[in-house]
Amino acid sequence: MRRLLFELSFLKALFVVNLSSAMEYRASFITQIVGMLINNGIYFVFWLLFFDRFGSVRGYQIDDIYLLFAIVTLGFGLAFLFAGNAGANLAYLVAQGRLDYYLVFPRPLLPHVIFSRMIVSTMGDIVFGFVAFLFTGRFHPIEILFFLLSSVLVALLLTAFGVIAGSLAFFMGNAQYASQQITNSLLTFSMYPNVLFSGLARTLLYTLIPAAFVGAIPVQIVQGRDGVLLLGLAGFVLLLWLIATAVFSLGLRRYESGSAININV
């Protein structure tokens, strides 16, 4: 337990250093956050216009979209605010031989690598997530609690998925683009009402690209105040993390380092 607390306090120290580094450039820092807010806002307005025109899609209404957006954007924001190196960045580090930097330190490798970068713009996602939740009008304490817990689980899920996608670089070499595509597809599918999909596509969203666990299921958890489903989601996240750790560890044995000169530009 003491060890775990120490590792968490180390991750906190990493976060503080990251934040200080990001705030060195004030204008860029603020622009990225505001830019992401606007970006999400535009996407959101599209759905507002859509539901204004069509009313509902197979039972999915604008209130569901508010909640879906709130959970997905908050989950995504939390994931990549803290673990900015999961996903395509991990693939880049592996392909460029830049894991060397982390391998010489006595810290658990995977958390050290993924928590060593903060994507500043995700602060805009986090703010957007909370604002979208205000629109849902769901202020029952259980709903608020389940919304927060679901978002944290979604963040953990996205991070684990990012680790798996990024670890492809151990096996494929330059997998930056592929891992970017894979993580983007997870995010994209999770932002659509899952009632739109059926058959094979729906099966895919519950298995290979588990977008249903990022969007539809957390929405169900909050709407139905469903504690059992919340536990189910937690179980799935745990399973995905076990797979992510195994894939990363297996890949690490194939790591070839590299001679890339690190030039900061």
Position 261 contacts another protein (CB under 8 A): yes
Site string for another protein, 52-91 (x = CB under 8 A): ----------------------------------------
Minimum CB separation of residue 21 from another protein in Å reads: 5
- Alpha-carbon gap, residue 32 to 112, rounded angstroms: 24
**Per-residue CA distances from 197 to 61, 98, 106, 126, 202 (Å):** 16, 40, 46, 27, 5
Q: Per CB under 8 A, does 35 bind another protein?
A: no
Give the C-alpha separation, 207 to 87, whole Å: 18
Closer CB to another protein, residue 2 or residue 53? Answer: 2
Count of residues in contact with another protein, rule CB under 8 A: 28
Rounded CA gap, 114 and 166, in Å?
10
Question: CB of residue 112 vs another protein: minimum separation in angstroms?
Answer: 8
List 1, 2, 27, 106, residue binding another protein (CB under 8 A): 106
Nearer to another protein, 24 or 52 (CB): 24
Least Å from the CB of residue 253 to another protein: 6
According to CB under 8 A, which one of 29, 34, 107, 229 is a site residue for another protein? 107
The neighbour count for residue 14, using CB atoms within 10 Å, is 18
Residues 86-105 that bind another protein (CB under 8 A): 98-101, 103-105
Q: How far is the CB of 30 from another protein (least distance, A)?
A: 16
Residue 22 backbone zone (phi > 0: left; psi -120 to 50: alpha; other: beta): alpha
And the tokens for 247? 């894939």
Asked if 225 interacts with another protein (CB under 8 A), we say: no
Strand stretches in 22-84, DSSP E: none
CA distances from 185 to 173, 230, 235 (A): 21, 23, 22
Q: Which residues pair with 60 in a beta bridge?
A: 57
Q: Which residues bind another protein (CB under 8 A)?
A: 6, 9-10, 13-14, 17, 20-21, 24-25, 98-101, 103-108, 253, 255-257, 259, 261-262, 264
